[in-house]
Amino acid sequence: MNMKKTKKRVKVVKMDVKKSAARGKRRSFDLIGDVAVVEADSRAQAQALARHIIATCPQVKCMLREESAVKGKFRLQAYQLVWQDRAKIRQSGLGPTETVHREHGCSYLLDVRKAFFNPREATIRQALASLVLPGERVLVLFCGVGPYAILCAKRGAVVAGVDANPAAIRYAEANARKNKVHDRVQFVCADVRAFHRGETYDRVIMPLGTAAVEYIQEAFRLCEKGGTIHCFGVGPEASPFKEMEARIAREARRAGVRVRFTGRRIVLPYAPRAVKVCVDVQVL
């Protein structure tokens, strides 16, 4: 599927920039802890947004403007510094773009320049974690700074998280300690294809929006019989799940495993007429 990614935001903070130069096509922002990430067509628009944010979100210490789409294996973006308050940065005791984001009673230390984090995915994180039972063995592939892993551990699961980005894993380990689940979570810095432990898991979560299905053979290898894989993907708005389920079914035949589709979720808008989805697959 060839779709240019545009960000239709599920707004984290409701905003209305009145009488400002920021009345162009792209003007929104996300709050990640006390760092604001601004989407704007020009620096002038970004600065108009900055004035609005300073007036309405006094906790903000730094504002970044997105300069590129999410790219590369680590799924990072380039940012331009729009504004910062040096006194607040000093007070925070963290780096200028490092922050603590709070979500569902958990805190995540992170720096968006170094590791991927999307505050708009809070709802799907909570939805998947709510399925977890105490004692379950959960594997989070593409775990980033640890939000799925930590939420699942909070539910009493024993969790492993895998990510290739060393900075993401350092934050994930710090976050496990911060949220007091370090006794139940282990993070591994590795490519998912190289992750071999001789263990299988009751639940495998694959939150890699556009490419998780490319790794579905790894998930089949790591998922216990009777267990569930949550595979993320992108599909056309008109039939978001069809292509992805057909691909998973083909891959399952290739792996010699029987599967059953047990859940379908629309995660977020992704691009014009395309949505990010999550498909639940039970391995029989």
Query: Which residues lie near ligand SAM (CB under 6 A)?
Result: 73-75, 116-118, 121, 142-144, 147-148, 162-165, 168, 191-192, 207-209
Going by C-alpha positions, the residue among 88, 76, 232, 59 that lies closest to residue 145 is 76
| CB nearer ligand SAM, residue 40 or residue 110 | 110
Question: Least distance from C-beta 215 to ligand SAM, angstroms?
Answer: 7
Q: Residue 51 Cβ, how far from ligand SAM at the closest point, in Å?
A: 30
Q: In this chain, which residue has its C-beta nearest to ligand SAM?
A: 144
Minimum Å distance from CB 191 to ligand SAM?
4
Minimum gap (Å) between residue 44 Cβ and ligand SAM: 30
Encoded tokens for 80? 């331009």
Query: Torsions phi, psi of 250, nearest 5?
Result: -65, -45
Q: How many CA atoms lie within 13 A of 50 on its CB side?
A: 17
Q: Which is nearer to ligand SAM, 4 or 73 (CB)?
A: 73
Report the residue number, 164 or 257, with the smaller CB distance to ligand SAM.
Answer: 164
Contacts of 172 (CB under 8 A, 6+ apart): 143, 144, 145, 146, 149, 161, 163, 187
* Least distance from ligand SAM to the Cβ atom of residue 23, Å: 31
Residues 6+ apart with CB under 8 A from 86: none
CB 44 within 8 A of CB 21: yes
Nearer to ligand SAM, 24 or 166 (CB): 166
Nearer Cβ to ligand SAM, position 20 or 217? 217
Longest CA pairwise span in the chain (Å): 61
Q: Which is nearer to ligand SAM, 209 or 240 (CB)?
A: 209
Shortest Å, Cβ 187 to ligand SAM: 11
DSSP 41-87: SSHHHHHHHHHHHHHH-TT--EEEEE-S-SBTTTTB--EEEEEE-HH
State how far the Cα of 233 lies from the Cα of 216, in Å rounded to an integer.
Answer: 11
CA distance 270 to 15: 20
